[in-house]
Amino acid sequence: MKKILIILLLAGLGFYIATTYTGIGFGEPHFKHGVKDTYLKQTVQSLHVANTVTAIVVNFRGFDTLGEVTVLFLAVTALGSILYKKRHEVGVRSVLFSSSSIVTAGSKLLFPAIILLGAYVFIHGHLTPGGGFQGGVIIATGFLLMLLAYRNYSVSHIILSIVESIAGITFAGIGLLGLIYGETFLQNFLPVGVLNNVFSGGIIPIIYIAVGFKVAAELTGVIYTILHEKGESNG
């Protein structure tokens, strides 16, 4: 009885929310005053960046992105602190299996290609769709493939931690340099260059490359930590 009541209540609530949101009509041009036009105009005119999404994420609302990067960093830290006591010695895994020779041979071939694709995605974040977060995730999948294919493949935690820290310091440091050389935090202080060049957009590509390294290091760290978690069943 109680469960049915809860389901009915949730259904009612869901219906109410759904009708509200369908009424909004997303994708239709129904506000005149918003900030969107300024974003579209200023991205090309004053930032010389081809990808508006990147310009919004890294420049107009770069402070949010710094926050999101921190959220990921904290999530990894918290995960590490929770799983700390449950970790095996290096090289011992909770998931034990041997992969077939097709996987081992193929992953060796694919690994450099995945890394290259990831690097391409975050280096060209201001020109084409994609960016630091997406590129970083692609790189982390490359490491996941290697960890799945080779039993004794290991990634140095110290190196991951150093990469992570340096990338984070780069982001926050560029923000502070903006405060020193410009007037406000995260302000662009480099020449913006020519639209559609790799070297354009001022600080935007630098920040996105730092984000790419950071996300790649953090997600690799997460995969590695979870893979080496000591399960309850095998001790």
Partner 1 sequence: MVGTPVLFIAIPLLAAFLIPLLGMIWKELVRIVPGLVLIYLLILAVNLLDHVMVHGPIIEIIAGWAPPIGINLVFSAFSGFLVTIMIFLGLLIWLYSYRFKKNVGYEPAKKYFLLLMMLITGSVGIVLTGDIFNMFVFIEITGISAYGLTAFYTGRDSAEASFKYLMLGSIASTFLLLAIMIIYSQLGTLNMADIANRIHTMNPTYKIISLIFFITALGIEAEIFPLNGWAPDAYSEAPGPVGAAFAGIVVKASVYAIIRYIFTIFDVDGAFNFLIIIGMLTLIIAEMAAIRQEKLKRMLAYSSIGQMGLVLVAFGFGTEEGVYAALFLMLNHAIIKSLLFFSGSYLVYNSKDKLIAEMNGLGKKLPITSFLFALGAFAIIGLPPFAGFWSKLSVLTAAADKNMIFIMSLILFVSLIELVYYLRVVNRLYNSKEKASSIEVKKPTANALITMLVLGGLILLIGFYPDVVTGVLHKASAALMDKSQYIHNVLSINQ
- How many whole angstroms separate alpha carbon 156 and alpha carbon 131? 25
Q: Is 89 in the site for partner 1 (CB under 8 A)?
A: no
- Exactly one of 8, 82, 113, 159 binds partner 1 (CB under 8 A); which one? 82
**Using rule CB under 8 A, residue 80 touches partner 1:** yes
Q: Does 5 bind partner 1 (CB under 8 A)?
A: no
Q: Which stretch binds partner 1 (CB under 8 A): 28-36, 88-96, 108-116, 131-139?
A: 28-36
130 close to 96: Cβ distance less than 8 angstroms? no
* Sequence-distant (≥ 6) Cβ neighbours of residue 46 within 8 angstroms: 192
Least CB distance to partner 1 at residue 83 (A): 8
Told to check if 190 binds partner 1 by CB under 8 A, we report no
Scanning 32-40, 99-107, 120-128, 144-152 for contacts with partner 1 by CB under 8 A, the matching segment is 32-40
Distance in angstroms (rounded) separating the CA atoms of residues 52 and 114: 26
Identify which range of 84-92, 121-129, 190-198, 223-231 contacts partner 1 by CB under 8 A: 84-92
Which 96-155 residues touch partner 1, going by CB under 8 A?
none
Of 6, 7, 10, 75, which lies in the binding site for partner 1, with binding defined by CB under 8 A?
A: 75
Q: Which residues contact 112 (CB under 8 A, 6 or more apart)?
A: none
Identity of the residue, 4 or 232, whose beta carbon is nearer to partner 1 in the bound complex: 232
The residue ranges that bind partner 1 (CB under 8 A) are: 17, 20, 24, 26, 30-36, 38-39, 42, 59-64, 66-68, 70-71, 73-75, 77-78, 80-82, 84-86, 158, 161-162, 164-166, 168-169, 171-173, 175-176, 178-179, 182-188
